[in-house]
Amino acid sequence: MAWALKLPLADEVIESGLVQDFDASLSGIGQELGAGAYSMSDVLALPIFKQEESSLPPDNENKILPFQYVLCAATSPAVKLHDETLTYLNQGQSYEIRMLDNRKLGELPEINGKLVKSIFRVVFHDRRLQYTEHQQLEGWRWNRPGDRILDIDIPMSVGIIDPRANPNQLNTVEFLWDPSKRTSVFIQVHCISTEFTMRKHGGEKGVPFRVQIDTFKENENGEYTEHLHSASCQIKVFKPKGADRKQKTDREKMEKRTPHEKEKYQPSYETTILTECSPWPEITYVNNSPSPGFNSSHSSFSLGEGNGSPNHQPEPPPPVTDNLLPTTTPQEAQQWLHRNRFSTFTRLFTNFSGADLLKLTRDDVIQICGPADGIRLFNALKGRMVRPRLTIYVCQESLQLREQQQQQQQQQQKHEDGDSNGTFFVYHAIYLEELTAVELTEKIAQLFSISPCQISQIYKQGPTGIHVLISDEMIQNFQEEACFILDTMKAETNDSYHIILK
């Protein structure tokens, strides 16, 4: 009994002594302690281990993601173990990204047979540059007017639907795709890493980027806003063929290292697998380009003095010419830029008044905005209108005009421009671009504030008073600035009317 009482006492003494010496040395754990003295969970619960454990990624190595994106470009061999892979790309070269469906049977059944939307972005890897991304991209836009940072090589891509590139987001493209079908998108990155460094060294000194893909499914309203999956990888972009030289240099450096040093680095893989990440925060881009304003009043006249009178159904009046004036204030100039689809350049012209903008020469605008938008802005500033392909003049036939036509036949006199015996007749101009009968019908309906459906046919009065049906070919042979008198005749079958050009 005495020995039985002493053994637990001895264990308590040993245990308390080890606890006191634990901070000094951890080498005795597991060697001198029995299984009942300390468990491994107790040891890992110490603060020093808790701090390290919190920095470890969650245990999702065995997690199967719904999608996988594979960039067909080799990773660098000069990346240490446990660091993120780094891939070198050539500027402007097309690189394939394979969109793979990894869903298990029965996973996400709501997207079976439906399309999903993926948004591609090229963003900064450096957190410091992420905070100033807008300013960095605006600076790049200024130095490279008319260019984009990210593009899709559509002819080489497979399985993508409705690819889009917002002109206000140079680093973003998006498209729809069917996960059940083979999909490969070829992307081109047009910026290089050294364009965002303070001092221009070489490509190896440039800043790293990230290629991020965010995929969404449709919600109940048919909008692709429900997030499914996001993944990204780290890249550096070099001038053409610079990525190949950099990859070769890294490989040669690794070959010179000892086997022990090589163990600290990752091998180079032929492709780059994008790793799961958080979705990129969406930035709301407000569409500040409203449609052109319309006049509240529209001068129209009735067709009631012909053979019939269609019921009036007002059509939208024509747009008002929106010309910039020298007296326009800077605030009004900003609104004018938005209205005329120049929202991209509002920041550049923040303090410009109407007079300042009108003083810009054609070369100035092209240098600031690039050739395409520059020419468009210059023409808008000068108020240049596109000349129509054909102009004709029409006048409604009235009872007074008919009486004067009878007098013309009796007196056998020629009257020009509808002006007879001092009477003044008003003609309206119709401008045609497509030179089709459908376009002429719409323009006449708009002129008289009626619906095009109320015009059944349009005829032209020919020799001996015959009615010739207007065709596209006939309109194409109209003389420029030809004058016509419009007469109406009620159709036999319905409530519509025939228009006769005399």
- Average pLDDT, whole number, for the chain? 75
Distance CA 400, CA 398 (A): 5
> Between these two residues, 283 and 259, which has the higher pLDDT value?
259
Domain-wise residue ranges, the chain: 67-276, 330-382, 390-406+424-501
> CB–CB of 222/186 below 8 Å?
no
pLDDT tens digits for range 329-342: 888 888 888 888 88
> CB–CB of 272/70 below 8 Å?
yes
> Between these two residues, 309 and 117, which has the higher pLDDT value?
117
pLDDT tens digits for range 185-217: 999 999 988 888 765 545 447 889 999 999 999
> Between these two residues, 55 and 390, which has the higher pLDDT value?
390
Question: Which tokens belong to 185?
Answer: 């998108």
> CB–CB of 211/71 below 8 Å?
yes
Per-residue pLDDT band for 244 (boundaries 50, 70, 90) equals very high
CATH 1.10.1660, applies to 390-406+424-501: no
pLDDT tens digits for range 407-419: 665 565 555 554 4
Q: Within 13 Å of residue 464, how many CA atoms lie on the same side as its CB?
A: 0
The CATH number fitting domain 67-276, selected from 3.40.1000, 3.90.1690, 3.20.20, 2.60.40: 2.60.40
Percent of the chain, pLDDT > 70?
71
What is the average pLDDT across 246-268?
Answer: 91
Question: Which tokens belong to 244?
Answer: 């190949």
> CB–CB of 437/418 below 8 Å?
no
Q: What pTM was estimated for this model as a whole?
A: 0.47
pLDDT tens digits for range 61-98: 456 788 999 999 999 999 998 889 999 999 999 999 99
